[in-house]
Structures are given as C-alpha cells and as structure tokens.
C-alpha cells in the first residue's frame, strides 16, 4: 500500500527558491515537505555549477554555488522539513475538503494544505554540440562540477551565454589555456562578465563554430570554422566544455491544469496559479514584467508561503513579522 505523508505545505522543487520557501513556511510554524526529482538539494546549481560564483544575491557578493545551497539548506533545516528526493511529483488531485494530494513517482502520496511549485525550468538536458558527441566523457562535457579537473589543461569553452563566459573566467586561473568560442560577435552574457573575459587573457574567437573534434582514447584537437576564413583553425585541446544552454521540460506539471504561457506557469500577485491551493514561485513562473533572478524568486516564494498560510487559516495575518521579533 502506498505511503501517505500529511503536511501543511508541499514544495515541489528543492532548488534555492524551494529551500528558502521551506524556511519561510517553517518560520510561520507550518510543516513542510520538499520533493525533487534530483537526488540532492540545490537544483541546477548543484547539478550543473556547484563551484561557480553566484553574484546576484543581495549581500552575497561572491559565494560558490555549493556554499549558497548549503547555507539555504541550513536555514531551512532549522524547522525540520521532510525531504523526499529522487522522486518526481506526478499527479495532482484534490480531496473532498479541497486539500491537494500529489502522487510521487514511487507511489507516495503527499496530502497537503497547499502546494508551492518551485520547479525552476523543470528537468533539463543540455543542448548537444553538433560535432564530436562521441567524445562525451572523454574530453567533452556540458558542465563542470569540479573545475580542478581542468588544472593545467588546454580548455575550449563553447557558447555565448552567462554559463560559457563564467566557466571561461573560472577556469582561466587554473588551466594551461582557455579559449572561448562563440558563433556570433555579440554575447548574451552580462556585459561586465564579457568585458572581464576579454581582459583576463583568455583567447576569444567569435563568428566561429566547432566543426570537428579529434583524438584517440581522449580528446586531442578541435577544428574551428571561422566566418570569412577559408582555412580551418586547429586548436590543441585537452577538454571542451559545451555551454550551449539546456532544453527544459516541466513534465507531469503540464497536466496539472495550471495556466501556461510559453511553458511557464502563470501566477497572480499572490503567486496563485489557476488551480486552487496551488502556488508557484521562481523561474517556473511568468507574469507581466517578470525578471528571472534568484533574488526575485526568494521574494516570490515568501509571498506564496504567506498567502498560502492565510488561505489555509483566514484568521492568520498575511504579514509574518520579522525574524528579529523572535530574538
């Protein structure tokens, strides 16, 4: 028989926004369960860039991803949430009295007073490098969990977004050489980061693409096709990091009946979705003027939690008070 877990708040997504949501719920005295398809907390940060510096959180000028996740989890753990990790939230129904009941991929049912979706971009798979996929795991990778693995290597980073530029900056001090290749002359990454990568001494090749990778038991060489050049550029490389973005999928959440706009969940100013007792916060949401930053997600999930608390008990005040009031 499937296990049933009863709680006040079910958070679907144990990334940064979900972890902060667990703190907000705990501060209001609400029992909380966090569910995530990944086997650990932290979402994309833990899975893709635990060693990168996170710079866009107020008062945290430059902590590594894993440090940010550790701090958020410690903050949440003060209120003893239950973590159900490595399990996907699959189905949603409502009980006779309107309580959401969410079935997980292992058959567990979570009976909650309210659900808060903090699923980020959902499940994600990297966009493949068109050339050299056979070297995956033998020099080609799509993210860098441990930058020290590239110490004293010649590294080629491919891409023009924040991840590509940030990896080039992170690897430059420890690698033998770093070359950043982008198919366009303009970058999607933050202008300050692009300026920094030009100034740090890394080689930057624009209007170019990787046409082939070569090697034997491991990667040895990358060929570049540069616009306007007849000859192929040959680079000696030990590693290629393809930071070309990810294809995201909200999976079963698409079937929950929430209103969607371009595969993001539409919410109102209370972070309510179109499904009763189901809220959402963070990158998974959309509304006019939405800005996808981690710091924005923190504010959204605080709004969601406090509105959910009042929805469950109208006698409560929407404003939870300040943490300093309890000391």
Kindly report the CATH number assigned to the domain that includes residue 110. Answer: 3.50.50.60
Give the pLDDT of residue 282: 97
Give the pLDDT of residue 248: 76
Backbone phi, psi, residue 266, to 5°: -80, 130
pLDDT digits (tens, 9 = 90+) for 22-59: 999 999 999 999 999 988 899 888 877 777 788 889 99
From its phi and psi, is residue 208 left (phi > 0), alpha (psi between -120 and 50) or beta? beta
111 and 17 share a domain? Answer: yes
Q: Which of 140, 204, 200 is nearest to 173 (CA)?
A: 200
pLDDT digits (tens, 9 = 90+) for 59-84: 988 888 889 999 999 999 999 999 99
d(CA 3, CA 101): 12
Give the whole-number percent of the chain exceeding pLDDT 70.
Answer: 99
- Flag whether 88 is marked binding: no
Average pLDDT of the segment spanning 129-157: 91
307 and 269 share a domain? Answer: yes
Q: How many CA atoms lie within 13 A of 160 on its CB side?
A: 12
- Flag whether 324 is marked binding: yes
Per-residue pLDDT band at 166 (split at 50, 70, 90): confident
Last residue of some domain: 225, 242, 259?
242
d(CA 166, CA 143): 11
Last residue of some domain: 209, 225, 242?
242
Average pLDDT of the segment spanning 151-162: 95
> Each residue of 208-235: b (16+ CB within 10 Å) or e?
bbbeebebeeebeebbbbbeeeeeeeeb
* Edge-to-edge strands, sheet with 285-286: 260-261, 264-266, 285-286
Question: Which range is most confident: 42-46, 109-113, 122-126?
Answer: 109-113
The neighbouring-strand residues paired with 163 are none
- Flag whether 186 is marked binding: no
Average pLDDT of the segment spanning 296-314: 97
Q: Helix, strand, or coil here: 270?
A: coil
Backbone phi, psi, residue 229, to 5°: -110, 130
35 and 109 share a domain? Answer: yes
pLDDT digits (tens, 9 = 90+) for 202-260: 999 999 999 999 999 899 999 999 999 999 999 999 999 999 988 878 889 999 999 99
- Looking at the predicted structure, is the pLDDT value of residue 1 above 70? no
* Domain range for 320: 4-124+246-326
pLDDT digits (tens, 9 = 90+) for 208-220: 999 999 999 899 9
119 and 251 share a domain? Answer: yes
Give the pLDDT of residue 153: 97
Residue scoring higher pLDDT (145 or 88): 88
Last residue of some domain: 242, 275, 306?
242
11 and 66 share a domain? Answer: yes
Q: What is the DSSP string of 57-96?
A: BTTBSSEEHHHHHHHHHHHHHTT--EEEES--EEEEEE-T
The number of beta carbons lying within 10 Å of the beta carbon of residue 313 is: 12
Q: Total domain count for the chain?
A: 2
132 and 225 share a domain? Answer: yes
- Looking at the predicted structure, is the pLDDT value of residue 115 above 70? yes
- Flag whether 124 is marked binding: yes
- Looking at the predicted structure, is the pLDDT value of residue 294 above 90? yes
Q: Which residues contact 56 (CB under 8 A, 6 or more apart)?
A: 293, 294, 295
109 and 257 share a domain? Answer: yes
235 and 202 share a domain? Answer: yes
215 and 259 share a domain? Answer: no
Residue the block writes with tokens 């007073």: 113
Q: Which of 60, 26, 32, 29 is nearest to 45 (CA)?
A: 60
d(CA 324, CA 247): 42
> Each residue of 51-82: b (16+ CB within 10 Å) or e?
ebbbeebeeeeeebbbbbbbebbebbeebebe
pLDDT digits (tens, 9 = 90+) for 190-200: 899 899 999 99
206 and 151 share a domain? Answer: yes
18 and 106 share a domain? Answer: yes
d(CA 283, CA 301): 11
The neighbouring-strand residues paired with 110 are 5, 102
- Looking at the predicted structure, is the pLDDT value of residue 104 above 90? yes
257 and 290 share a domain? Answer: yes
- Flag whether 49 is marked binding: yes
């Amino acid at each position: 028989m499937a296990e049933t877990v009863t709680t006040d708040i079910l958070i679907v997504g144990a990334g940064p926004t979900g972890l902060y949501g667990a703190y907000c719920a705990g501060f209001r005295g609400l029992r909380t369960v966090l569910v995530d398809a990944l086997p650990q907390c932290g979402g994309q940060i833990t899975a893709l860039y635990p060693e990168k510096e996170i710079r866009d959180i107020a008062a945290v000028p430059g902590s590594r991803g894993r440090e940010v996740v550790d701090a958020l989890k410690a903050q949440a753990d003060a209120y003893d949430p239950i973590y159900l990790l490595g399990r996907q939230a699959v189905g949603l129904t409502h009980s006779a009295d309107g309580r959401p009941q969410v079935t997980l991929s292992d058959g567990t049912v979570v009976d909650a007073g309210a659900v808060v979706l903090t699923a980020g971009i959902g499940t994600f798979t990297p966009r493949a490098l068109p050339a050299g996929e056979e070297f995956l795991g033998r020099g080609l990778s799509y993210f860098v969990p441990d930058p020290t693995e590239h110490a004293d290597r010649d590294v080629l980073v491919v891409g023009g977004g924040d991840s590509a530029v940030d990896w080039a900056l992170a690897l430059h001090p420890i690698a033998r050489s770093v070359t950043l290749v982008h198919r366009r002359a303009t970058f999607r990454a933050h202008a300050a980061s692009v300026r920094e990568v030009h100034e740090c001494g890394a080689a930057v090749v624009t209007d170019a693409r990787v046409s082939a990778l070569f090697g034997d038991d491991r990667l040895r060489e990358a060929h570049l096709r540069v616009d306007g050049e007849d000859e192929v550029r040959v680079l000696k490389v030990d590693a290629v990091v393809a930071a070309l973005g990810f294809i995201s999928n909200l999976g079963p959440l698409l079937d929950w009946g929430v209103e969607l706009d371009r595969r993001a969940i539409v919410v109102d100013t209370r972070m309510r979705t179109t499904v009763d007792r189901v809220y959402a916060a963070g990158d998974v949401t959309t509304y006019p003027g939405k800005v996808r930053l981690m710091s924005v997600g923190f504010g959204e999930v605080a709004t969601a939690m406090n509105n959910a608390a009042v929805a469950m008990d109208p006698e409560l005040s929407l404003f939870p008070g300040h943490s300093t009031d309890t000391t």
